[in-house]
Amino acid sequence: MEDHWLSKHVKGFDLDSYHLGMTYAFAEIVGSGVKPLALSPPMTREEYDRLKEPIRLMADEYNVHLLVDEDFLTTKLFNPAFTEGKVVVHMAKDANTLDRYKDLKEMKTMKRRDGKLGEAEEEIAVGLGLLLGYDKGTIADLLKNPRF
């Protein structure tokens, strides 16, 4: 297991428990309708393989749909290094929300192919922020100061 920044601050820190705890909390939030889309912490493929069964059980408990993403949509909202080469599990109450995420990924691919990504980057970032349930003020702040 790779080191997590919390392992430097918390004695006995267990990364698998952290990943499962975060994922469980977000499954409950999404399942309750508080947030349309939530993301697990980024995990290595090995971490995900170890945890995929309990993650599936959490999704079943809260009746949420999962999307396992090994190529997370990079936008101006987040530092791409945070998810690069990692597995991110998306959780949504409505499967259409996952389709809208896939549409944003496809839009980015098409705009990049057509040489028009620059003009669409903010639109894609705003779209992702809205799917994550962020308000416009939070999205505007993240565009100026990306997380992670």
Which residues fall within 8 angstroms of residue 140, CB to CB, at 6 or more apart? none
- Residue pair 100/51 in contact by the 8 Å Cβ criterion: no
Q: Are 22 and 40 in contact (CB under 8 A)?
A: yes
Under the banding of pLDDT at 50, 70 and 90, the label for residue 1 is: very low
* Distance from C-alpha of 45 to C-alpha of 88, rounded to nearest angstrom: 10
Element (H, E) at 89: strand 88-92
Q: Residue 144's pLDDT band (boundaries 50, 70, 90)?
A: very high
Residue 98 corresponds to which tokens in the numbers above?
Answer: 């996952």
Rounded to an integer, what distance in angstroms lies between the CA atom of residue 143 and that of residue 134?
12
- Total structural domains within the chain: 1
Helix axes 117-131, 95-113, angle to 10 degrees: 170
Lowest mean pLDDT among 1-10, 50-59, 79-88, 94-103: 1-10
Integer-rounded Cα radius of gyration of the chain: 16
Domain of 118? 5-144
Percent of the chain clearing pLDDT 70 (strictly above) = 92
Could you tell me which residues come within 8 angstroms of residue 66 by beta carbon, excluding any fewer than 6 positions away? 55, 56, 59, 89, 90, 91
Mean pLDDT of 88-112: 97
Using alpha carbons, select from 121, 114, 120 the residue that is nearest to residue 75: 121
> Is the per-residue pLDDT at 104 higher than 70?
yes
The residue-averaged pLDDT of 116-122 equals: 94
Per-residue pLDDT of 9-45, as tens digits, reads 667 668 889 899 999 999 999 999 999 999 999 999 9
- Of the candidates 109, 129, 132, 134, the residue with the CA atom closest to the CA atom of residue 120: 109
pTM of the complete model beyond 0.75: yes
Length of the chain: 148
